[in-house]
Chains A and B, each alone.
Chain A
């Protein structure tokens, strides 16, 4: 299973209702491609850090998407976004791998190997919840 984040910036001259219909368009496209939309965030109007096409503001929409391996229509959606000049920017990021890595790091399995001669496995009983890191 893969998770994605799709975020896009719409021209602020597009009305809020049109933004909603636009996102619904993309959402139906995504669901038709066999993916699921887990959550949606509308950030509303936001100032851009730099002008894009002489526009200083943008409306941000964020979609969180879950899909089975290799079954997405995201390429198609991106293609459509590229052609739509109301979309100033878009970005699709696959997040499952990074989040998994982050979750793994949360449980500190870091065998530092600082003390000499300890060849025992680290996962002995008793030190399952040791959380402090020694730094000198």
Chain B
């Protein structure tokens, strides 16, 4: 009746790696990894990116390897 129904459309987050069927997360693929490091170059948490646990773990490792090789920054100042 009078009450307007508030409808939230929250976009469902989907793990990028599951959706794109990326099975091996390569630390050399800077373009891919860059999607998971926002401005401050921190690793984007699962909560925000929607990555599933199975893929977040190798993603973390890949980002850390890429950092070591100076492909990706540790921080940005």
Residues on A lying within 8 angstroms of B by beta carbon are 7, 9, 48-50, 52, 58, 60, 62, 88-89, 91, 93, 98-99, 101-103, 105-106, 133
Q: A50-B74, A105-B23 are in contact. Are A98 and B69 (CB under 8 A)?
A: no
Residues on B lying within 8 angstroms of A by beta carbon are 18, 21, 23-24, 27-28, 58, 65, 67-74
Q: Are A49 and B73 in contact (CB under 8 A)?
A: yes
Min CB–CB distance A57 → chain B (angstroms): 10
Given the complex of chains A and B, what is the CA–CA distance between A69 and B21 in angstroms? 30
**Which DSSP category, helix, strand, loop or mixed, fits chain A's interface?**
strand
Q: Are A50 and B69 in contact (CB under 8 A)?
A: no
Q: Which residues of A contact B21 (CB under 8 A)?
A: 106
Min CB–CB distance B4 → chain A (angstroms): 28
Closest to B14 in A: A135
Q: Which residues of B contact A101 (CB under 8 A)?
A: 23
Q: A49-B72, A50-B74 are in contact. Are A93 and B65 (CB under 8 A)?
A: yes
Top 8 nearest A-B pairs (CB, nearest first) are: A102-B23, A48-B70, A102-B24, A49-B73, A49-B70, A105-B23, A50-B73, A49-B72
Given the complex of chains A and B, what is the CA–CA distance between A60 and B70 in angstroms? 10
Q: Which residues of B contact A93 (CB under 8 A)?
A: 27, 65
Given the complex of chains A and B, what is the CA–CA distance between A50 and B75 in angstroms? 9
- Taking a contact as CB atoms closer than 8 A, the residue among A91, A99, A102, A106 that contacts B69 in the complex is A91
Q: Are A98 and B65 in contact (CB under 8 A)?
A: no
| A-B contact sample (12 more), CB < 8 A, given A49-B72, A102-B23, A133-B18 | A7-B69, A9-B70, A49-B70, A50-B73, A50-B74, A52-B70, A89-B68, A89-B70, A98-B24, A98-B58, A99-B24, A103-B23
